[in-house]
Structure 1
Amino acid sequence: MSAVPGRPAAAKAPRSRLRMRLPWWALALPVISFAALLILVAGPARASAASAPQGLAALLELLVRIVRGGA
């Protein structure tokens, strides 16, 4: 059996001038997402800091209280 050299069937098809159009949501969703993230990032001026102690000092203090039995 010998293979017949040639172009694939897809290459033989004539190229038509199809204009691909994006659906409306393909542009709207990224714009809405970007705007929502921008609002979230730009709005932390009203946020308040947590009142809980942070850092290694608070962890060590907690460990000392647990070891002494005063937890």
Structure 2
Amino acid sequence: MSVRPHTRRDPAEPGSTEIQLPWWAIALPAVAFAALLLLILNPADAHAASSGPAVTGLLEHIQTLISRTAP
């Protein structure tokens, strides 16, 4: 069985530019931009500056998950 060689277009030809991006290459920056824009519009919702109960709750949750799986 023979394999056909892949022919490439000359980049200098007009109309030969093809850009193929995966869907997440557009979606992720758009989501990040929207999140940052919302934080700018309402900075009271920015809870990342305070390391309060969110971090403590997360660490406790991880600890309980680990203790459940340990024999």
TM-score above 0.5, yes or no: no
What TM-score bracket applies, with the shorter chain setting the length? 0.3 to 0.5
- TM-score calculated relative to the size of structure 1: 0.35
Name which structure has the greater RCO, CA cutoff 8 Å, separation 6+. 1
- TM-score calculated relative to the size of structure 2: 0.35
Whose Rg is larger?
1
